[in-house]
Structures are given as structure tokens and as C-alpha cells.
Structure 1
């Protein structure tokens, strides 16, 4: 039987049997149209969004916590917990005032002391936060609702950073929680956001429950991305953990769940044909082939340029994602279509050039040594893209050792700096959200700060100088000039080979409305008819 036939059989069986009964959160449930049931992409294991940067923890964090600013649908920062703010003419002193009505779930008011403690902890953990900390001279409480950030030198993206929805988010916690060591997870779940975490109903591996925070006071503005008024129109949101794609597809068709956050790519055609199901774009992801800059051959930029000339984006995307309606080739490290989506300097790599690649490899000193490309089939798109990359690199004369492992083993191996013949690696394929990659401030792959960079450890003093120039640029014209100079340098240094970008769809039942595009899936503004 074909995979598609098997899925159809599963769907028919689930329909006939009514599906397996889902666990109940509590004996007493709100009305059915006031409970939203979601199948998230992963189980919730870590509750602290300042310790963990994984997506499911960020989703959890945005349910129960808030940030000072929030990114709208165009990824521009808008005030969220902040009522008003101002910057001094020299851009070095930023004064903020919190809006009225902010209270934690235990009834305590949110104060500037909570904010200062929370931001200090976040700055010690997050890429965006640590960059802001480099520029920070002091962060002080003025009164219960006001605080002042003083900078050593101008930083052109303070509100953007304070509203970050990627990496470890700058969630505002109670001061007592925020005093926890930055590497120690906070286990309390007392935020000030529109939902409360229902700890009594939580069953790891099966069920996560959030109840509407009846005391929450939303902003008056219309909802826009993650910004604006977070008006909750449900009594409860339940996350039902369904790691098996066929089970999730069947549950969506029978109405046992209302939303499947990240449907498997090979099941999308089945869902698109199913009655009462809508499949729609939600987020954009960037795919990449990441080299290890510590060891030959990719410690030499000529070998990385050869990689760029060999690996073709449409080939990788077709293999990994399939239908072209879901993907696009893109030469921008900062995501085509984003506010920073310049592709300057990338034209040369739009089409393969095997002859040029072979010449560059020879000039780099490569002589056929084994190159370890670690990958996985746990995430099928990653495995298929890795196979395409391996074939292209072999065509250019590289001796590729393609090693398949489970995804957990790949992620455990990523941080290791051992030589490739001693358990290390040379290459891997991965994805990152467009929201993460769309800015030089948040893009983890273009950080070329040597030991302080993400796995792969690219090291280029000039790229870091240009990245700081972007951070310090004030005004659209200065920022665009700095952006293009940085992008030109990155295309010459190739911190990773861009494999293009693709849209991650979600699937919902037709009676669900109001989902907002954003950096993570959120559930305020959502209605169930």
C-alpha cells in the first residue's frame, strides 16, 4: 500500500470509529465552542521561555507572559506592556512607563522592579538580549511604573529587541522568579498574560491546558500579528500531544482537534481535499546547509564559496518541501520579503557552477578528504535536503560521508568542537523561522563572532564590525546602507549556504476563525463557531 493510501485508510478508520477518546482536562468542561483543541508540533517540557529557545516553549511563554513591546505582522515593534516611551536626542537614554492594569496571575501589580530583574536575566541568556547588554550602561527603576535604560553608544533597535519573539523571549516575570539564575529554569508559571497555565490539568506527553485570564486588560488597539489588543474569545485552550502524523490528521478530520499547528508535508494534499478543513500558510522558514568553520575544508572561505556554487536551492527545496506553492528560492540571508530582505551580492550563486566550484576547492587545498554531513530522517524534509546537498557536493569532487542519526543525536552533536574524525562534523542541514532570520540582530547563522557564534563558529572580524554598524544605525537610510554592506560581506564569507525559504502551513477546521499571522502561533482573537 502507498503512504497516501495508508493515510486515507487511517482517516476512514478514524471516521468510522469516531477516533480515540481524547483525555479530558477536568471533570467540568466549558461549553464546546469555548474550548479550542490544538495539536502542537511537540510536547511542552520546559516552562521557562528565558532558559529555552525552542518553539513550543516560546508558544507557551506568549500564552502566559507578556513583553514590553510586541512585533506586528510586518515584524515592526509596537508597545505592549509599555504605555509610552521616549529616547533622548543622542539616542542614549530611553525612558519607559508601563501601562495601567498590568497584574500577575497571583494578583500582584507588575512593577518596574519586575521589569528590570526580568530584562537583566534575559540579557544574560539570549542572542538579542546579550547584544543589547553590550550597549547598556545601566538599567534602573524610577518608580513603580517607570524605568530608564542608559546606553554606552547608540543602539538603533531598542524597541525591536525588547519585543523579540525569537530565541529566548524577554518575558516579564515576577521579580522573585526573575532573580533565578539565568541557566536554572523557573518552574513557577505566574505571568501577566491573557491565559493562565492550568498546572493541575497538565499531563506531560499528553495534555497541556490554558484557561482564560479573566482579570487581563487588553490594549485598545486592534490585534496585529503579536501586537495590539490580546482579546481572548475562548474559555480554554488545550494542547493535545499527537506525535504520530496520521493520528493528528484523523483527529482533525473527525473534529477531535480544531487546529494542527504543523501538519506533515506529505499529508497536506490529503487535508486539502478533506471536507471542512482549511490549510493555510502560517510562518516562513529558512533552510540552510551549515558548515563547520573550525576544520578543513570549510575553515577556508574558498571551500564555502565552492559549496554555494554547487548546492542548488530549487533542487533542495523540491526534495524537502515538494510542491512549489510552498517554497521559493531566495538569496537573502535576512529573508526575502522581510524588512531586511536585501539579496545584494547573491546573484552569482543562483545557478550551479561546477567548474568554478572545483577550481575554488583546489585553491583551498582540498584533496578529497572525508567530509562528514550529519543528518536525520526524523524530520523528513531535513533528510531529503541533506541527500540532495550530498549529491551536489560529490559532483564537485567532495568525498561526502552522509551520516543519518535521530534528530536528538544530531542536536547533541552540533555543539561539539571535536574534529570530524573524532565524533565531530563538517556539515548539517537545518531550518529556522523567518522571524528569527530576518534581522542581523536576531539571525543566529550570520553571527560570525567566533567562539560566541552558534554551532559552526564562523569567525570574521569585518562581518562583526558591519553587523555592529547595522545595530548602531539610526534612521531608515543609514540602516539600509549598513544592511547592504553587511550582506555583501556575508555572501563573500558564506557563514552558511542558503537553501531558500518555505512556508509552513497549518490546518484548521472551517469553524475556527481569527488566527493571526505572527512569529509563533497565538490563540487570542480566535473564535470557534
Structure 2
């Protein structure tokens, strides 16, 4: 039987391969290919066991015991054991908002035997399974050797236990990434459902083919040169929908939130007045028109925890919904900004949605007299540079003041998982931009103890109020991005993103 190759145009070029070190979506997608997780979310966003076979909780809620499935192997042939899971949990939790929340309650994590480990708590932690099943910043189980790497240093040896093996010898940054079927992978017996169930590799090879020009990538899909396009350009969506050979589908119905992040460490955006100035330049309708340009896929949303989510609230947002450039200029001046000083803005030229988003902000800044140093680069270069804490005022080629991105709505929709809301100010625990605000941290901690929906919403409203007082980041509008694939593909899982397992390729 001839070998089959699934060819996908990914959303970006893959340069960073450690899904713990970075939150870049392309690296998380890479993580799903190579690694397996202890738990995974089904299509209803309910946690289901993945590598775990069975688990139990003590009556007082302080001890959680987990036993791994039989037959789990890493790609080098070594068995997956408790020590690997424990080291992976500890490393991941340093970099993830919900992992950090969990570790504030953890007394110790210990191996009972080679397949069973316990998480012992100082205080009960109700969302344990949901945290271990984080769907968008998942917990990849690495070998203990790699998982003992400092989480602020990239792992470079990529050996997982998932359904595909990363072929590092065939990887050509800027061109393609290659994955091979792991023939010794033992899938679960349950049918695939979202990210959960049996991950059956039905193709022999998966190739991510990087095509930065969206028109070229769209034509490659329509001609059959590639089989799928992860984030096709929304302005070409009518043409793709009209093609009888192509399926266009929104997999993540909650969607994404456009996002602009200022650097809190250095002037001028270490001053809240400068960040408030940025907020007063945002008209979400304008930003959405540029970054999406199709009302079918757009939602104006000033809710910190997403619109159409369980914790939706626009409390205290109204004063910030209307742009005021004159006031923005006054606030920047009051913050001590000299309008001759360059503001370094990173522009990811190969990410159409984000690129169009930041171009609007660049235009708004220039309109009020800001000296914008707009530096063009590809997305992978941006995701590497945003981790640097150098002062952009003294080293504008290394440091930065502002960068754009988008966040998947699921983690953004809770104080527990909203990573850019973490305001510890510590580059080791806070997300790039490094805000520091004790009140936000106090409210996030209180949310963990909220026992009822009413109590949760009181904290959400308080967080909304503090968010717009402090401005840790800017939301530029909510949107969905359909995935497109040729009808020769069968069995595409109904996960939040396009994953390669269970897909059959027919001719």
C-alpha cells in the first residue's frame, strides 16, 4: 500500500519547538503532533483522560492519585513513567497561569510506583482535571531528562510519546516541517471527540508547508498542491466556499481575541497613563475591519473574559469603548513621553490578521504625533524577540515597546487561564510585557475560592474594573477563523484547531 502524506499550510513558520517555553500557537500545534497529554478536552470542553488510565481523589480533596495507561512509549522506545509526568507538570506549571494557580495549593507531587503518582495539596483545588486538560496551552509530557530543563530555556531535543514523530533532519525553517507516524503509539479505545479519544494516525507523513503569501497558499489549496490551510485569508473566503472541492468550517466557535501588548518594564508604558492612552486609540470596529473585514466573523467585545463565554461581562468598560485621540495625546505627555522618542513596534509581516491589526495602531499613534519605529519581521522572529527584557529606549534593535497577537478565546475566558492577565511583574511567571499589579493578583487568587457562579461574577466584575484602571493589554475585537481543507480528507476531528490524527486522505 502506497504511503500517504498530508500537506498542510500552517498559520506560521515553526522556529521555536518547545511548547512550554512559548505560548505561540504554531508551537502549541507542534506540541499536539509530538507529545501526548495526561488529560484532554472533548468537543464540549469537558476533561477526559488521555495518558491517564484511572484516577481517584481522597475524601478531603487533598490527594489526587493518577495511574498511567499500559503501553505508553516515548519515540526513543523508552517507557513513559510517573517521573516523566511529575517533571513535566512541574516545568509546565511555572509558565502557565492555571499551572501557577495549581502550584499555590500543591504540597508535593510524588511517584508511588513507575505508573502511579500523587498530587498532594495543602488546600483543595476543584479545577484539577480542567487544568491538566488545558486545550490551548496543553501540558506536554516530556521525558524527565527534557522536563528538568529550566522552563525559561528552550528544550531542543524533541522526543514525545504522541502519534507523530518530529523529523528534525527534514525540518527546514522557512520552508517545511515533517512529522512521521509513530508506529508504536497506542491510541485510546474511545472514538475521537475534540482533543480526546483515540488518536489514530491514518497517514504516514504530515508536512507543514510554509507559504507566507496568502494568495499563493489559497491557490495551492484550490489546485490540490496542499490538502489543508489552517488560517486562510478571510477576504478570500467567498472563493473558497464556492469551490465544491473544499470544506470551510469554523472549528473554534468561541473564537479569538485581537490583542496588543505594551511593555510594562520601561517608559513610557510603565506608566499607566501611557497605557490608557493606547486604549483611547482603540475603536474595535476599525480594528476588526482591518484584521478581519467580514462582519460574519467579527464581534465587537470589551468583555475581558470574552463575549459569549460563561463569564461574559462588560462592566466598567463603557468609558473606554469610545476612542479619544486628543485625550490619548494628553495622557502620553503626562506620562513623560517625549514625542521625538521612537516607540518600537514589532510588525509580523507573515501574519495577515495580526499585521493588519497593528498597522491600525501604528496609524493611530502617528496621528497623535508619536515617533513610531515600525520594525518588520516574520512571526517566529517576533515570538523569539518578545521574550527579551532589554530596554527598547537604549537598545531599539533588541528591546520593544509594543507587539500584536491574538489569543484563543478558551483560555482568555477565565481568570484562571487568562495568561496575559497574570500581573506578577516577574519575567519568569508573567507573560511577555510583564505587568505588575497586586490587586489583579489578589482577585485572581480569590476567583479560585469562589464557590458559586454569583461569587465568580462578582470577582469578574471587580477584575473588569481593575483591568480598565490598569490596562495590562488591549483587546481589539473578537473573531473566528475558519479552517479550509480539500474534500479528499475524511474524519477531521471537531477540535478547536486542525489536528492530524484520525484524518484519512483519499484520492
2:483–2:498 CA contact under 8 A, matched in 1: no
The match for 1:291 is: 262
1:354-396, Cα deviation, whole Å (9 max, x unpaired): 677677668767786757261426134434333433454566x
Q: Secondary structure at the match of 1:504?
A: coil
Q: Provide closer, same or farther for how the CA distance between residues 466 and 371 of structure 1 changes in structure 2, counting only shifts above 3 A.
A: farther
Structure 1 unaligned runs (5+)? 1-27
- Structure 1, 348-357 or 484-493: larger mean CA deviation: 348-357
The match for 2:405 is: 430
Q: 2:73 aligns with which of 97, 103, 125?
A: 103
Q: Provide closer, same or farther for how the CA distance between residues 205 and 349 of structure 1 changes in structure 2, counting only shifts above 3 A.
A: closer
Q: 1:192 aligns with which of 113, 138, 161?
A: 161
The match for 1:386 is: 358
CA positional deviation for 1:318:
0.3
Supply the distance in 1 between the matched residues of 2:327 and 2:18 (Cα, whole angstroms): 48
2:258–2:357 CA contact under 8 A, matched in 1: no
Q: 1:445 aligns with which of 408, 420, 425?
A: 420
The match for 2:503 is: 526
CA positional deviation for 1:46:
4.1
Q: Provide closer, same or farther for how the CA distance between residues 446 and 257 of structure 1 changes in structure 2, counting only shifts above 3 A.
A: same
1:41–1:261 CA contact under 8 A, matched in 2: yes
Q: Secondary structure at the match of 2:33?
A: helix
The match for 1:18 is: none
CA positional deviation for 1:320:
2.0
1:429-488, Cα deviation, whole Å (9 max, x unpaired): 332232442332332321121234333332211111001112344565544443333233
2:235–2:294 CA contact under 8 A, matched in 1: no
2:73–2:80 CA contact under 8 A, matched in 1: yes
Q: Secondary structure at the match of 1:216?
A: coil
The match for 1:157 is: 127
The match for 1:515 is: 492
The RMSD of aligned alpha carbons is 3.3
Supply the distance in 2 between the matched residues of 1:183 and 1:290 (Cα, whole angstroms): 20
1:73–1:226 CA contact under 8 A, matched in 2: yes
Supply the distance in 2 between the matched residues of 1:198 and 1:86 (Cα, whole angstroms): 37
Supply the distance in 2 between the matched residues of 1:181 and 1:364 (Cα, whole angstroms): 37
Q: Provide closer, same or farther for how the CA distance between residues 103 and 298 of structure 1 changes in structure 2, counting only shifts above 3 A.
A: closer
- Structure 1, 357-366 or 128-137: larger mean CA deviation: 357-366
Supply the distance in 2 between the matched residues of 1:300 and 1:469 (Cα, whole angstroms): 26
1:376-426, Cα deviation, whole Å (9 max, x unpaired): 26134434333433454566xx43223321235755267345264763554
Supply the distance in 2 between the matched residues of 1:394 and 1:247 (Cα, whole angstroms): 32
The match for 2:141 is: 172
Q: How many residues align?
A: 496
CA positional deviation for 1:147:
1.0
Q: 1:456 aligns with which of 408, 426, 433?
A: 433
Q: Does 1:504 align with 2:481?
A: yes
1:38-68, Cα deviation, whole Å (9 max, x unpaired): 1223343444433443333322221222111
Supply the distance in 2 between the matched residues of 1:215 and 1:474 (Cα, whole angstroms): 44
The match for 1:325 is: 296
1:321–1:502 CA contact under 8 A, matched in 2: yes
- Structure 1, 268-277 or 330-339: larger mean CA deviation: 268-277
Q: Does 1:234 align with 2:206?
A: no
Supply the distance in 2 between the matched residues of 1:393 and 1:44 (Cα, whole angstroms): 31
TM-score, normalising length: structure 2: 0.85
Supply the distance in 1 between the matched residues of 2:440 and 2:155 (Cα, whole angstroms): 36
CA positional deviation for 1:141:
0.6
CA positional deviation for 1:520:
4.0
CA positional deviation for 1:148:
0.8
Q: 2:224 aligns with which of 255, 262, 265?
A: 255
Supply the distance in 2 between the matched residues of 1:386 and 1:51 (Cα, whole angstroms): 24
Q: Secondary structure at the match of 2:8?
A: strand
The match for 1:280 is: 249
CA positional deviation for 1:526:
1.9
2:97–2:422 CA contact under 8 A, matched in 1: no
Q: Provide closer, same or farther for how the CA distance between residues 496 and 200 of structure 1 changes in structure 2, counting only shifts above 3 A.
A: closer
1:240-267, Cα deviation, whole Å (9 max, x unpaired): 3333434322321221211011223444
Q: 1:140 aligns with which of 110, 133, 136?
A: 110
- Structure 1, 359-368 or 94-103: larger mean CA deviation: 359-368
- Structure 1, 312-321 or 130-139: larger mean CA deviation: 130-139
CA positional deviation for 1:517:
4.0
Q: Provide closer, same or farther for how the CA distance between residues 467 and 124 of structure 1 changes in structure 2, counting only shifts above 3 A.
A: closer
- Structure 1, 272-281 or 177-186: larger mean CA deviation: 177-186
2:366–2:372 CA contact under 8 A, matched in 1: no
1:176-201, Cα deviation, whole Å (9 max, x unpaired): 44344545544444432223334565
TM-score, normalising length: structure 1: 0.82
The match for 1:6 is: none
CA positional deviation for 1:108:
3.9
CA positional deviation for 1:272:
3.3
CA positional deviation for 1:89:
4.4
The match for 1:418 is: 391
The match for 1:344 is: 315
The match for 2:462 is: 485
The match for 2:90 is: 120
CA positional deviation for 1:316:
0.8
The match for 1:372 is: 343
Select the structure of larger CA radius of gyration: 1
Q: Secondary structure at the match of 2:103?
A: helix
Supply the distance in 2 between the matched residues of 1:59 and 1:521 (Cα, whole angstroms): 9
